[in-house]
């Protein structure tokens, strides 16, 4: 992993170790980051964290290679002042906190501090996440490479052209898993309405969405072609798609409204 030796020598501080922090930490340890190089600040450590071999609380390295901020946005005001001493340029600050702009971290850690803002999503818990990253002016190519290497421990990583894209990313991939989970819920409920048992309807919905997602990611064809491949003229799929693809009430209009609402809320959170 790029930057592994620097982390092994200087350490990594993880501020917050809930579900996302734990997923990342498990990925780092699997990829060879020495447990003794990781120092976690977490007021309520899980049993898994206690048994992971990493340092919890106690003395922290003075100038770690990375400080990764994984606390919830509403806890930021309480958490950041205690970590402000890591600012000044010697430590790369990476944030996975939703709705918290780069400027907030620059104000907390001071000028010259390299900061990378990242937006992962919950499939990171099974190593299938996707994370978008963007750096501030002080974050050079090496800092972005290190952030990407760390975040690849839980899935794919993409780089943004600018921080202005982060609200749209939040609305598509950050919040997107919830849209898919709701699709599973509603698809199963529709199956029940057609006479299936709840257990069978849910099993069919889960496997269908999971399998179709894997096919969409692995196939050479784009999703539009995959859709056409399974749609026979005047068949059952076409009958359903005529409802789902309706310009006024179908998926296109509904998802545009949903994603826009999420993006707008992300902008509001960023303004504080």
70 in a known ligand binding site: yes
18 in a known ligand binding site: yes
152 in a known ligand binding site: no
72 in a known ligand binding site: yes
| CA atoms within 13 Å, Cβ hemisphere of 106 | 13
Q: How far is the C-alpha of 132 from the C-alpha of 121, rounded, in Å?
A: 9
Q: How far is the C-alpha of 121 from the C-alpha of 13, rounded, in Å?
A: 21
**Three-class DSSP category at 232:** coil
17 in a known ligand binding site: yes
Pick from 47, 48, 41, 34: which is nearest to 70 by CA?
Answer: 41
Q: How far is the C-alpha of 70 from the C-alpha of 62, rounded, in Å?
A: 19
Q: How far is the C-alpha of 136 from the C-alpha of 89, rounded, in Å?
A: 12
**φ and ψ at residue 143, rounded to 5 degrees:** -65, -45
14 in a known ligand binding site: no
Q: How far is the C-alpha of 93 from the C-alpha of 270, rounded, in Å?
A: 18
Q: What is the CA radius of gyration of the chain?
A: 21
Q: How far is the C-alpha of 200 from the C-alpha of 48, rounded, in Å?
A: 34
Q: How many CB atoms lie within 10 A of CB 91?
A: 24
16 in a known ligand binding site: yes
How distant, in Å, are the alpha carbons of 73, 84, 97, 99, 178 from that of 174? 14, 27, 11, 11, 9
Q: How far is the C-alpha of 169 from the C-alpha of 173, rounded, in Å?
A: 6
> Residue holding tokens 């399998």?
211
> Annotated binding site for NADP(+), which residues?
15-20, 70-73
- Annotated binding-site residue numbers: 15-20, 70-73
């Amino acid at each position: 992993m790029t930057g592994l030796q620097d982390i092994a020598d200087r350490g990594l501080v993880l501020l917050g170790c809930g579900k996302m922090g734990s997923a990342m930490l498990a990925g780092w340890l699997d990829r060879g980051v020495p447990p003794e190089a990781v120092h976690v600040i977490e007021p309520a450590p899980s049993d898994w964290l206690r048994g992971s071999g990493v340092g919890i609380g106690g003395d922290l390295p003075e100038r770690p290679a990375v400080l990764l901020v994984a606390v919830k946005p509403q806890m930021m005001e309480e958490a950041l002042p205690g970590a402000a001493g890591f600012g000044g340029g010697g430590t790369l600050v990476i944030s996975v906190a939703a709705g918290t702009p780069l400027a907030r971290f620059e104000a907390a850690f001071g000028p010259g501090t390299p900061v990378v803002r990242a937006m992962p999503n919950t499939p990171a818990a099974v190593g299938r996440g996707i994370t978008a990253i963007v750096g501030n002016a002080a974050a050079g190519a090496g800092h972005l490479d290190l952030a990407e290497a760390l975040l690849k421990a839980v899935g794919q990583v993409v780089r943004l052209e600018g921080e202005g894209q982060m609200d749209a990313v939040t609305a598509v991939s950050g919040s997107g898993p919830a849209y898919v989970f709701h699709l599973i819920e509603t698809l199963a409920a529709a199956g029940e309405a057609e006479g299936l048992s709840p257990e069978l309807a849910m099993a069919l919905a889960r496997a269908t969405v999971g399998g179709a997602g894997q096919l969409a990611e692995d196939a050479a064809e784009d999703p539009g072609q995959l859709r056409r491949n399974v749609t026979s003229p005047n068949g059952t799929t076409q009958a359903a798609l005529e409802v789902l693809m309706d310009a006024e009430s179908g998926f296109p209009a509904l998802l545009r409204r949903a994603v826009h609402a999420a993006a707008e809320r992300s902008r509001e959170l960023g303004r504080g």
